[in-house]
Amino acid sequence: MKIRPLTIEGAFEITPVQHGDDRGRFLEWYRFDRLAEAVGHQLDLAQANLSTSARGVVRGIHFADVPPGQAKYVTCVAGAIIDVIVDLRTGSPTFGSWEAVRLDDEDRRAVYLAEGLGHGFCALSEGATVAYLCSSTYRPGHEHGIHPLDPELGIAWPVAEPVLSAKDAAAPSLAEAGVNRMLPQYEVCNDFVKSLSQIGDSR
């Protein structure tokens, strides 16, 4: 597999090597050792999520308090999505910026995003099934959202009328989240990620 760092620190695109014949295809969509080599530490898997979405559905932008935050390894197992990673870490050189990667059931790419980064996606196909590997379990009260249509973020969602959940539609803007001290801090996130590397070295 090929692992490519994105423009946002802590975010990576993973492209697997596919082997196919007239029976179908086979690929490794996750390798803990290859990811750890790129990221600097192993991804401790605590929870696996699966979501299905109709065309035009936008989910996100979601993030969790750090520590422990929630790193994610995301792929689209059926259909196609535009996956969006947003830097929500105050003090980061790329704070407020975002990057989009197409994930689908043809190229079978995945993305990895570190603790403190925001995540969302838009379903491009009639039905899209997305699988997430997560470094921590869901913690009510410690997971938050930023409105995906916040003009300050300016995310170019590829649909004219995005379909949002009631919770996402009621999420604060980036500016409101900052005023309310909801956003993760860049230095805290970096220190936490460094501690994961040290734990890995001691194993």
Tell me the C-alpha to C-alpha distance, in Å, between residue 137 and each of 6, 44, 65, 190, 198.
Answer: 25, 11, 12, 20, 22
**Gap between the Cα atoms of 58 and 78, Å rounded:** 16
Q: What is the DSSP string of 105-160?
A: TTT--EEEE-TTEEEEEEE-SSEEEEEEEESS---TTSEEE--TT-TTT----SSS
Active-site residue, from 62, 119, 144, 147? 62
Q: Is the distance from CB of 67 to CB of 192 less than 8 angstroms?
A: yes
186 catalytic? Reply is no
41 is catalytic: no
Distance from C-alpha of 192 to C-alpha of 95, rounded to nearest angstrom: 18
Active-site amino acid positions: 62, 132
